[in-house]
Amino acid sequence: MSMGDERAIVQLADAGAAVLVATAVTDGYPWLWDRLGNALGEAYADELESSRSRLAAVSASASRSANTRADEMGQWRARLHDALTDRPDRAAGLRGLVEEASVRLIVAGSGSSAVRLPPDPALVPVGQATAAGPASARAPHPAVLAVTLLLLVLAGAVAAWYAARL
C-alpha cells in the first residue's frame, strides 16, 4: 500500500467516524443503520447499535457525553480503517454513505459543517495539480450538492408547470 493510499484510507475513516457518531443519535439513525449494513456488513450495523446505546446513555452529562463521543469516534476510526485496509473495494460504499449522511446532517440542522472527504481518484482530471498535491481533486461541498439538487428539482417542476400551461 502506498503512502497516498494509506492517507486516503485514514481520511475516509476519520470522515466516516465523524458522520457515524454524529448521526447515531439523530432521527437519521435507521437510515444510517441500513446503509452501513449494506456498505460494510451486518456486523458493522450491530456495532453502530451498540455505539448508539452508549451515546444515548450519557447524553444528559455534557462532559461524559464529550468523552464518550471522542471514545466512539476513535473506535469507529479504527474499525473503518481496518475495514478499508482489509477490503479497499468498500471505500466507494463508505464514501457514498459519508457524503449522503453529511448532507442529511446539514439539511436537518444537526451538523454545523460538512465532513471533508479525501478526493475520489475516479474524479481527478488527468494531470490536474492543486495545493493538496499532484493530480488531486477537491470534492464539492455537500451543501452545494444539496442546493444544486434542490434547484434542479425546482427547475423541473417549473418546466412541467409551464409545459402544462401551453
Domain membership of residue 162 (yes or no) is: no
Q: Residue 43: what pLDDT?
A: 94
**Does 70 fall in a domain?**
yes
Phi, psi of 7 (to 5 degrees): -65, -40
Domain contains 59: yes
Residue 63 has a pLDDT of 72
In a domain, residue 112? The reply is yes
147 located within any domain: no
- Cα torsion 131, 133, 137, 139 to 10°: value is -70
Sign of CA dihedral 93, 84, 139, 97: positive
DSSP structure class, residue 72: H
The pLDDT value recorded for residue 130 is: 42
Note whether residue 101 is domain-resident. Answer: yes
Write out the three cell numbers for 130.
492543486
Report the domain count for the chain. Answer: 1
- The single-letter DSSP state of residue 139 is P
Q: Which residue has the cell 446513555?
A: 57
* Residue pair 58/64 in contact by the 8 Å Cβ criterion: yes
Give the residue ranges of the chain where pLDDT is below 50. 111-114, 116-137
* Grid coordinates belonging to 2: 502506498
Which residue in this structure is represented by grid cell 479525501? 118
The whole domain housing 78 covers 3-140
Predicted pLDDT of residue 117 = 47
Task: Look at residue 155 and tell me if it is in a domain.
Answer: no
pLDDT, position 2:
59
Domain-embedded: residue 146: no
